[in-house]
Chains A and B, each alone.
Chain A
Amino acid sequence: MARLTIDDLKKIKEKTAKDTSLRHGKASIKITVHMGTCGIAAGARDVMNSLMNEIAQVDRQDIRVVASGCMGMCSSEPNVTIEVDGEEPIVYQLMDANRMRQVFKRHVLLGEVQTDFALAKM
């Protein structure tokens, strides 16, 4: 019988990982931090870092974080858009590290839209 090599094991691992990720489905929550020049100048980096620290504390594989450019609403930056599968995307405005923590804990984890910070439904 042929011996299993490290490469074979890696291939098996990759295949299993792929299969299980398909089974568990794709990301169901997408969080976009808008980081154009305006967003960065207004503090989007702190928002992004606070979001990453929150995510590191929960074991969720279905949350995807992306950075994107300016939406054209520079005066309300930093903006964060949260899209939960099957619901309308919510854009939050004038975010900071604390607001981001609250939105993550309430809206992303518990599904309660934080209307106080919301700019719009899209």
Chain B
Amino acid sequence: MKELSLHILDVAENGINAGADRVRISVEEARLDNRLKIRINDNGRGIPADLIQKVTDPFYTTRTTRRVGLGLSLLESAARQCNGSMHVESVPGKGTTVTAVFAYDHIDRAPLGDMTGTLISLIMGYPDVAFEYIHSVNSRRFELNTVDIKNMFDGRPVSDPAVFRKLRTLLEQGLTRLKTNED
């Protein structure tokens, strides 16, 4: 994957395919501590304890359409090559949390990339799932919650052009502000 935001899109979809209707994504850029932490939490059906060791094995997958399962293996190798690590915690019936940590300034760390594109794809592609997004750069924060947006538009669907435009503007402005303001 060329961007970390593509890993986020991929892992968030794992949760939705596991029946989640709430996905919480957080990106923490602690530049002063030279750390980038990504966490994706869902309330899907979770991973049984005996399978959790296998999730990063590229030749293990529960799907039947093909024989390899690369999503989490790719994220783990991306984190490891940047002096980081990936952890998967899961409680069957409650949900799963995937946490990946990277050394912020590592030369092999892929850029975060187009987070707006990732969030738009998730929110539009899965209109029935509630998404929460929290992005922090040092002490600054940006938060977005699709439940708030739906309330703001009085329950109109996210596919409504007005809602879509508002969502995109909120994301673009919020993330640009986060990137450009200095502490």
* Chain A contacts to B: CB under 8 angstroms: 10, 13-14, 33, 35-38, 40-41, 44-46, 48-49, 52, 55-57, 59, 64-67, 69-72, 74
Contact of B10 with A37 in the complex, beta carbons under 8 Å: yes
Contact of A48 with B164 in the complex, beta carbons under 8 Å: no
Cβ contacts under 8 Å, B122 to chain A: 67
Assess A37 versus B70: contact at CB under 8 Å? Given A48-B121, A69-B17. yes
Contact among A13, A65, A69 for B159, CB-based, below 8 A: A65
Contact of B9 with A35 in the complex, beta carbons under 8 Å: yes
Q: Report Cα–Cα, A66/B71, bound state, in Å.
A: 20
Q: Report Cα–Cα, A66/B10, bound state, in Å.
A: 15
Nearest neighbor of B69 in chain A, beta-carbon distance: A37
Nearest neighbor of B64 in chain A, beta-carbon distance: A72
Assess A52 versus B66: contact at CB under 8 Å? Given A35-B9, A65-B125, A69-B17. no
Contact of A45 with B74 in the complex, beta carbons under 8 Å: no
Closest Cβ of chain A to B125, distance in Å, is 3
Assess A52 versus B13: contact at CB under 8 Å? Given A37-B71, A65-B125, A66-B125. no
Q: Report Cα–Cα, A56/B166, bound state, in Å.
A: 11
Q: Report Cα–Cα, A9/B70, bound state, in Å.
A: 50
Cβ contacts under 8 Å, A44 to chain B: 121
Contact among B63, B120, B125, B165 for A35, CB-based, below 8 A: B125
